[in-house]
Chains A and B, each alone.
Chain A
Amino acid sequence: MPDTHFYHYDDFDRTLVAERVEQFRDQVRRRLAGELTEEQFKPLRLTNGLYLQLHAYMLRIAIPYGTLSTRQLRQLAAIARKYDKGYGHFTTRQNLQLNWIKLEDAPDAVAMLAEVDMHSIQTSGNVVRNTTADHFAGAAADEIEDPRVWCEIVRQWSTLHPEFSFLPRKFKIAITGSPNDRAAVRIHDVGLRLWRNPQGETGFEVIVGGGLGRTPMIGKTVREFLPKDEMLAYLEAVLRVYNRYGRRDNLFKARIKILVHEIGIEKMREEVEAEYAASKDGALKLDPQTIEAIARQFAPPPLPHRPAIAGEVERLKLEEPDFALWLKSNTAPHKMAGYRVVTASLKPAGAPPGDASSVQMEGVADVADAYSQSEVRVSHEQNLVLPHVAVEDLPAVYRALGRLGFAEANVGKITDIIACPGLDYCALANARSIPVAQRISNHFANLAQQHDIGDLKIKISGCINACGHHHVGHIGILGVDKNGVELYQISLGGDVDFGRTALGDIIGPAVGADRIVEAVDALVRTYLDRRDAGERFVDTYRRLGVEPFKESVYAAV
């Protein structure tokens, strides 16, 4: 196994995944032979990541804590080529979705995943799902501790957990190791935030009951400080309370956020703490050696010293304005001077956001092999990240990504749109989201203009399930269906950044598909006309309130 700088499977992990593949293979065989009804089979296929969408089955592949080796990324490309239409979609939960899978091929596809220590286990179904982390983990300058260690511990604990495989509903956990929460922990069923207390100890703030969808809620703190080695005991307590008391009478009221809302956070805390107290210091307490053996594998790669300033970079900044913009928007500070964290934007102008072809995946793998320690990350904004790029190598990386169309200088900008697959793919959707994203992206393609507009996060969901996270977009767009016509409801002021979580305010009646670009344009114009120096779109919105924005949108549509 090549030297990865994150957890790599031992024979135990491999055995489990291989045995799971064989179990699934047999279940598929029985389903195709008619020995299982669809009702009996559906939870089994969902907990192996296989959805039935409009046109075909979709396989959702887990990318734990959004971290991939280049070997793994190349295998994803190969699977997409062999069993799909040669492309995939990187999701808001750091997974990869392949949209054209056949049920009869699914066991072979997951067997190919197992070859590179990957799987699709529990990426769907009423189980604990892929635990997501900060996509800059292990590299970001503001990190207290690498959260991926804890994601891996949660991954193992939650995989085929015998007690929690039939929860009331799905369960999503996110972990951040930085005060700047890039993992959106407050909109997850459980969020864990690593922090250092005044005594200098590092522990978890445990947040419970966040989530988007029909009833968006921001999670509440159930425990301010939890010693790290108690994490599993505490999680087990939360899950047991949820499994026992979460609602099962109504699909739309079955998440833990509803339970917290209905009984209140004090009662929730009481139940969890009582359950936790009964099992504390027991079998679930993490042995320091267990933690250490996993943490050691996430030790950062030994990066050779490279200069913090590179002549070629400085020269290119002056010669190519787009490169200068790209440095600003698509690269971020690294723990180590002489390095930057590079985001490959999967939002080229006019392209379906977050998609990559097999050739592009292999291209990114090539760049990562040459310039990023053979490691790639998936952000929950549907982009890819090269976590360890030397400053001196930035021009070469810029060119190489540019050949793939992945060097658009738009990360965090208006065309860095997050969109769910929407009605083009998804059986749950009311409206399409990808064509809307494409039109907005084309309209604002000018890079200089985008940088002038500054940080602006547009998030588009094709239905109330909110897989596009529209509630937390600076501009949120929700597709609705009224008498067979696609309409789009606009909300403003949502946020998940800088430790701040806010849900957007709906501005008024939904807007037709043919006017949505005009609406967004009106919002941007209002911002540009009224902003104070240094204000982002969302700051101006907060200062002025909804009226000026509402006025200009409805005048324009």
Chain B
Amino acid sequence: MAKNLSGDLTVASANRLADGAVVFLDDKGCWTRHLESAALARDKQGAEILLARAKAESFPVVDPFLVAVTEDGQGALEPVSLREKIRVSGLTFAAIAAEAVRYA
């Protein structure tokens, strides 16, 4: 797990079994695509509980794990590591558009 610069903020993430989509565990124990709805653990103990909960709810997903996040002034969450940033926001370049005859 990447070092978390602003404390021990973590969310639980996984890939959804049926379609591989990146999802996060929310407060209700359901898996959501929206990082902003993710259940947030604020310390190590909370993180352990969160991970245990994620594993207990892991039927619809594959291999849940913890992701270190930062929280800005408005409460918006962002993953710390580049890998997790990419998992959340997608490709860092423009893939060819659907039905495009040529790239750009």
Contact = CB atoms under 8 A, between A and B. Distances in A.
Contacts of B17: 31-32, 103
18 contacts: A54-B83, A55-B21, A56-B19, A85-B95, A87-B95, A87-B98, A101-B20, A102-B18, A103-B19, A352-B96, A356-B96, A357-B98, A359-B100, A424-B91, A425-B91, A429-B83, A484-B2, A484-B82
Interface of B: 2-3, 15, 17-22, 59, 62-63, 80-83, 86-87, 90-93, 95-104
A86 B93 contact: no
B57 to A, nearest CB: 13
Contacts of B100: 357, 359-360
A151 to B, nearest CB: 30
A356 B97 CA distance: 10
Residue of B59, B62, B91 contacting most chain A CB atoms (<10 Å): B91
Interface in A327-377: 348, 350-352, 355-360, 363
A57 interface: yes
A326 B3 CA distance: 50
A102 B20 contact: yes
Give the 4 A-B CB pairs with smallest separation, nearest first. Answer: A405-B102, A86-B98, A56-B20, A102-B19
Interface bin, chain A: 35 or more
B65 to A, nearest CB: 11
A54 B22 contact: yes
Given A38-B62, A103-B18, A403 B102 contact: yes
Given A38-B63, A403-B102, A423-B86, A355 B19 contact: no
Nearest to A88: B96
A32 B18 contact: yes
A341 B34 CA distance: 50
Contacts of A355: 95-96, 103
A523 to B, nearest CB: 24
A429 B92 CA distance: 14
Contacts of B92: 424, 432, 435
A143 to B, nearest CB: 33
Interface of A: 31-32, 34, 38, 52-57, 81, 85-87, 101-104, 348, 350-352, 355-360, 363, 403-405, 423-425, 429, 432, 434-435, 438, 481, 484, 486
A55 B21 CA distance: 6
A465 to B, nearest CB: 15
Given A32-B18, A55-B20, A85 B82 contact: no
Contacts of A429: 83
Contacts of A102: 18-20
A96 B93 CA distance: 20
Given A103-B19, A363-B101, A486-B82, A351 B96 contact: yes
Contacts of B101: 357, 359-360, 363, 403-405
Given A31-B17, A34-B59, A348-B103, 6 more contacts: A55-B21, A55-B87, A86-B96, A101-B20, A104-B18, A360-B100
A403 B103 CA distance: 10
B78 to A, nearest CB: 13
A54 B19 contact: no
Nearest to A421: B91
A124 to B, nearest CB: 15
A86 B96 CA distance: 8
From B15, B18, B90, B102, residue with most partner A Cβ within 10 Å? B102
Nearest to A347: B103
B87 to A, nearest CB: 5
A81 B21 CA distance: 18
Contact of A423 (B15, B20, B83, B95): B83
Contacts of B81: 484
Contact of A104 (B3, B19, B62, B83): B19
Contacts of B15: 52, 56
